[in-house]
Every structure is written in C-alpha cells, then in structure tokens.
Amino acid sequence: MPVSAARVVIISIFLIGGMLLAGVIMQPEASLQAWDVRESDFPANSSQEDRLAFLIRYAILAPSSHNSQPWKFNVSEDRILIYADEKRGLSVADPDQREMHISLGCALENLVIAAEHFGYSSNITYFPGEKDLVAEVELQSAAIPESDANSILFSAIKSRQTNRNPYQARSITDADMHELYSTAGHKSSRHRESLFNATLPAAAVFLSNDSAIIESFRRLVVQADDIHYSDADYKAELGRWLGQGSLGPTGLQAKAAQLELVFLDMGPQETAKDAELINSTPYIGFVCTERIGENANSSAYATRISAVIAGRTFERFWLAATARGLSLQPMSQALEVQETKEKLFGLLPSGSGNMSEVQQTFRLGYAANEGKHTPRRPLEGTIES
C-alpha cells in the first residue's frame, strides 16, 4: 500500500479508536510560550531566587536530542544546580547517555551566557557528587562589563533553531569564518570551572567542505539510518517523542506521525531525505574532545564529563553561527550505531590532533528560515525544590 494511502487508513483507525479524545483534545505539556522570554522582564528588584530562576528561562531554550529536554534545576541561595532527568533519557538511541549530557551541556552554556548578560560571574563545579547532579553553578554579581562576544551569543539564544531545509551551495567567507570561531572560542574572565580530582577535557569544532568527506559522511548516515529503521525498539522510542509533540507537530498531526513511524516502513523515505539533505550541504561539522585518560573514575564518567564539555562547545558554536546568519542541523545517527561510529574519526580533517573523541556531528550552511521553534516545557516544570 502506498504511504499516502496507508496514512489515511492509519489516521482513520486513530480517530475511530478514540485516541483523538485522549491524545489530541488535551493540550500537550510542551508549548512555544517559553520562547517569549523578554530581557526587559528580568526581575532586578525581586529576590535573589527570582533573579536566578529567570536565568533558567534561557537555559531551557537549549537544543536537546529528540527535544527530550532532559534537565531539572534547583535554585538555592546563590547557586543553580543542574540535574539530569533520567526519566527523559533515550534508552535505545542513547544508551550511554552521551546525547543526554551534550544536551545538558548546551543548557549549561545558555545559563552561563545569560548570567553574564545580566551581571553575574559564575563558578561551575562539574559532578560534585550527588546522584544525577551534573553541575553546580555559583553566581555572584560582577563589576566586569559583559564581553562583546557574550553579547552576540546572548542575542542569538532566542533565534537559534534546528534547520532541516536544504542548504545553499554557498561558501562561508574567510572573514565570517574567522568571526565565527573567534566568537565561539571566546573565554570570558567572568567564568571559572572545575572538576573534582581530574583535568577538564579540551573540546574543539572542526568543519570540512571536502566533497569526499561529505560523501563518506552521507554513506555513514545512510547506513546508520538503515539500521535504526529496522529496529522496532528505536522506532517505538522515536515515535513516543513524536506523539508527545516534542519534535514540532502537535495534536492530531503528532499522533499521526507517531503511528506512521511505528506501523509503516518509513525507513527508506527518511533515509533518502537525510541523504538528500547531506548532498545539499556545503559543510559537515564535528565536535570533538580529547580523552580524559586515567584521571577518570570510569568510562561512564569519562563519557558524561566529555559530553557536557562538548555540549557547551557545540552550543557556543551554534549560537555564533546563528549570529552570522548560518543554519545548522545536528545529525547524530552515525554516532548512535557502533558500526558507523568507529569510522567517524577517519573523517576528521588534518589538524585535529589529540581530539580523538567525536561527540557530535552536524551540517552547516545558509538556508531559508525553518519557521516555528520546537515546543518547550514550561519553566515551572523544570524547577524542583
């Protein structure tokens, strides 16, 4: 049966089965209201707790795998605690929680950028010891003016979005490339960070416009897609997030997309779409970290801290790219499948040195605007006492 005809059948069954009442009429928890945060609403004359909670409004606008938003926050006196929300993890696509901790790193970076913008310095302690506690951010009023780079990054937080449109065959000028890396790589004197009993791993972003590298990357993504879409558990997990409205469509459209994914053979269609998007992409990007080595207590620990640092680096680069009018789409498929993950290191451009851990891959270029943002949980749903 053609996909279009099958879609009609599935939607009909969906309606007749009564799922409309349960899954569509009820409004989803997620919404677009979080994107309406305004700088002028900063509660300068309110309590310290209210001021710090306001900073979290920018943290929750960070990107996350499957838009899972796997974060929880706690505001305590002069600090914000960031926790991993295990219930929002991806047990099939992300069993080692690399993507979860990249997402948490992105949220942490937004928080630190917003803190500097509103007059705070930050002291970050990674993994202080409490279960699921990823970072403790101590915030103090700072007399040092906000850096120009931070101002650029802050202004891009509300504009940043994943762009799945075809990209133009247009090169980034040398001047823009320099500004992109300069802004993304700026280290503010307002921020300090530490990790108990270990040295923080370095992270870097590498871009390639080599057609052979892009073609090799396309093949790895196609291979990973084929494996993913032949896995019923993977499709069920992705379908759950689609059905909740986390990935854009809401209501009936979201439920129909979930049923299509789970019950129809959408693999060839989705794989072809990804391949075509990469074919139109002028740049492929790699976010890499160095190995922590023997200072790490375990491989799981090393994965988490490296992923958080990679997430911070990725978000800074993404915001810097947004500020330069560039579009970006994360493409994690080849990192989620062991057979393809092992081959990614061979695609890194010369000069990558000891950055041997590929943490995130993406495509970059100029494109038409994506349109609406993806939904976000309300602030109140992310803060715990």
- pLDDT reading at 28 higher than 60: no
258 and 227 belong to one structural domain: yes
Beta strands 327-330 and 357-365: pairing type? antiparallel
Task: With residue 140 as reference, give the H or E element that holds it.
Answer: strand 133-141
Q: Is pLDDT above 50 for 21?
A: no
Number of domains comprising the chain = 2
The enclosing domain of 253 has a CATH number of: 3.40.109.10
The residues, ordered by sequence, that sit 6+ positions from 268 with a Cβ below 8 Å of its Cβ are 229
Please give the average per-residue pLDDT across 47-74, as a whole number: 97
Per-residue confidence at 232, pLDDT binned at 50, 70, 90?
Answer: confident
The 8-class DSSP code of residue 373 comes to P
For residues 175 and 258, state if they share a domain.
no
| 350 part of a folded domain | yes
Bridge partners, residue 83, by sequence: 72, 133
> Is the whole model's pTM more than 0.75, yes or no?
yes
**Site of tokens 């979080």:** 34
For residues 147 and 266, state if they share a domain: no
Q: Which residues of 216-252 are buried (b: 16+ CB within 10 A; e: fewer)?
A: bbbebbbbbbebbbebeebbebbbebbbbbbbbbbeb
If pLDDT is split at 50, 70 and 90, which confidence band does 15 have?
Answer: very low
CA dist 134 and 157 (Å) reads 22
Minimum mean pLDDT range among 84-98, 128-142, 223-237: 223-237
Instruction: Give the mean model confidence (pLDDT) for residues 227-235.
Output: 88
* Residue 191 resides in a domain: yes
Please tell me the predicted confidence (pLDDT) of residue 158: 98
Mean pLDDT, to the nearest integer, of 247-264? 54
**pLDDT for the residue 20:** 43
Does 270 lie in the same domain as 140? no
Which domain, by its residues, includes 86?
Answer: 34-198+373-381
Please indicate, yes or no, whether residues 121 and 141 belong to a single structural domain of this protein.
Answer: yes
Does a structural domain hold residue 130? Answer: yes
- Is the residue at 260 inside a domain? yes
Same structural domain for residues 68 and 209?
A: no
- CA pair distance 62, 51, nearest whole angstrom: 19
Contacts of 137 (CB under 8 A, 6+ apart): 79, 80, 81, 82, 108, 111, 112, 115, 122, 123, 124
Residue 74 included in any domain: yes
Residue 352 and residue 228 share a domain: yes
In whole angstroms, what is the distance from residue 366 CA to residue 302 CA? 35
pLDDT score for 27: 41
Residues 320 and 220 reside in one and the same domain: yes
Q: In terms of domains, do 119 and 228 share one? A: no
Any domain includes 29: no
**Whether the predicted pLDDT of 44 surpasses 80:** yes
pLDDT computed for residue 196 by the predictor: 72
Residue 42: CATH number of its domain: 3.40.109.30
Q: Is the pLDDT at 337 greater than 90, yes or no?
A: yes
- Give the model's pLDDT for residue 253: 56
Which pair of tokens denotes residue 155? 């202004």
